Amino acid sequence: MTAKEKSSIYPIFGVGLSLFIVLFGLITAKQVSSLYFLGGTYLILLVTGFHKACFRIIIPVLIVSSVFGVLTYLINQSVPSAVSIVSRLLAIGIAVIPGMSIRPIDLTRNMNQINIPRSVTLGMLIALNFTPLLSREIRQIRETMKTRGAGSVINFKILYRAFLIPLVMRLVNISDTLSLSVETRGFTLSGKDYSVYKTVKPSVKDFIILLAVVICAVTAVIL
């Protein structure tokens, strides 16, 4: 596997790390230590190969969490309530970072390696690919509407005829193509034996990242 193809973290570790960040952030949201944990985790991810995802997500997350934090304080006149909502939003935002480095195909291979049921693996693969696929289709339809001068989607008739109908038709065609692709590639839900063409293995850096985040969580609780 080339450096370009390699994920920044072992896929299953990445999923587990994201869940841990969210759960710990939500459980300790009412404590200031939650902010220490989230800040430390962000720095750990920043210096261990996730800098692109960190830079991409930090500004939107800070803006959203700040806005909701200020609104919560103005409504409740309570600093703990504001800190709680900010911690929750930051936890969700930072938890996304490990997942942004995982390629769907690597996660699928990893799930096959550890013998996760094929139905779950197939569902995960489709779910991970659906969002970017849907975004691309919507963008193409909007560009087509602009080219043809269809007008604004605020108008219900235009929204229905020029946007929703083409979108539904494209999604139906995509689902047919996907089912044929899965079938021709021999992806079955039966219990037959199968092999993984390219295996995904954890590295020393993966264990270091996990250990560092756990230490950060323990330190935040102690403080």
Residue 5 has what pLDDT?
39
Quote the pTM value. Answer: 0.71
pLDDT, the chain, mean: 81
Q: Residue 45: what residue type?
A: L
Structural domain boundaries in the chain = 11-102+202-222, 117-184
Residue 188 has what pLDDT?
62
Residue 211 has what pLDDT?
94
Closest among 17, 176, 34 to 102, alpha carbons compared: 17
State the virtual CA torsion across 213, 215, 221, 223 in degrees, nearest 10.
Answer: -120
pLDDT digits (tens, 9 = 90+) for 192-207: 665 666 778 888 999 9
